[in-house]
Amino acid sequence: MSMIPDRLRAAIGVWHEQDGPVFPIDASDIRRWAIATHWPEEPPRLFWDEDYASTTRWGGIIAPDDFNPFAWPIQPPDAGPAQYALPQPGEPGQRVLNGGVQFTFGEPMRPGDVITSRWRIKDATERKGKLGQMLYVQLERELRNQRNEIVRTRIDTLIRY
């Protein structure tokens, strides 16, 4: 019996655009993120000091690689493809493990950028493991700026058993 239900198989490779409004990134969003993620140390000046940042190869403030432009949503985001990846009642593989996260970074995010996001189930494969038959699902999220440049790609692996 396959652990890949038809609804999951049909969703593989289909991009799902993020719902909800998007807003330009503000320099203070970047500054607050940098402070929060470097606390209690002072964050690098590249993330908050425009005078300094203008002298760097970036020519101005950029966001840290881990900056999340969707950290303060107006409305709860929908689950996207994850709704197809998670087990439904009665399906095999009710337990879920985090199989890891892989990031690829592109263009840095800057004040004024408008970031959009889309998701897809990149792949779903079955493997035999110590716990029996296991389902590996890869969820891919892509962030792009207003120039359609990729700023970050994230691939999450879920392991169902």
| Residue 118 within a domain | yes
Number of domains in the chain: 1
| Residue 156 within a domain | yes
Task: Enter the pTM of the model.
Answer: 0.87
With contact defined as beta carbons under 8 Å apart, do 160 and 3 qualify? yes
| Residue 151 within a domain | yes
Q: Write out the residue range of the structural domain in which residue 22 sits.
A: 6-160
Q: In this predicted model, what pLDDT tens digit does every residue of 126-158 receive, in sequence order?
A: 999 888 999 999 999 999 999 999 999 999 999
CATH number at residue 68: 3.10.129.10
Q: Report the side by side order of strands in the sheet with 16-17.
A: 16-17, 116-129, 132-144, 150-160, 96-105
| Residue 10 within a domain | yes
| Rounded Cα distance, 60 and 48, in Å | 9
Q: In this predicted model, what pLDDT tens digit does every residue of 64-114 receive, in sequence order?
A: 999 999 888 777 766 676 676 777 788 888 888 999 999 999 999 999 999
| Residue 1 within a domain | no
